[in-house]
Amino acid sequence: MKCSVCLNTVLLAGLAVSCTRTDLRESSLENKQGAVLAPENSYAQKTVYVDQMKRDMSDIQKDMDDLSAQVEKTNDAARADAKVKLEALRQKWEQAKNRLDQAENSTEVAWSDTRVGFRTAYSDLQDSIKNMRQWLSDKLQP
């Protein structure tokens, strides 16, 4: 009986420590994400958010340049398709950039809507880049 009580105590203590560690990790992750996401939640932090998104858009533009260079390595048939896909990708980048410009120039009243519009365009752009990378990877494989 004493052994059973000791075993239960040890198991409960281990479970409590495990839960606490998991909670701390999740809390830490939320704090990290919250730090990243907090600027977009507040009009007062609009400048910080817009500046970060401008840097991200610049990085995406560099990625698109890299993709364009990879397109040149494909065969002629694939290259024609890739150029069409790249043009569509550039148009999505322009749409996201326009939405970012709108967000940057938005008033406090319009901030929420313009931020959501940008986030939607940005997410679409990121998905398109991911798809383009996968498509190119498939085409470049021997």
Res 76: pLDDT: 85
pLDDT tens for residues 1-41? 554 544 444 444 444 444 443 343 333 333 333 434 444 46
pLDDT tens for residues 112-141? 999 999 999 999 999 999 999 999 988 877
Question: Are residues 54 and 108 both part of a single domain?
Answer: yes
CA dist list (Å): 64 to 33, 37, 96, 133: 26, 25, 14, 10
pLDDT tens for residues 62-119? 999 999 998 888 888 888 999 999 999 999 999 999 999 999 999 999 999 999 999 9
Question: Are residues 102 and 62 both part of a single domain?
Answer: yes
Question: Are residues 13 and 55 both part of a single domain?
Answer: no
* Domain, as residue range, for 13: 1-41
Question: Are residues 57 and 104 both part of a single domain?
Answer: yes
User: Does the global pTM surpass 0.75?
Assistant: no
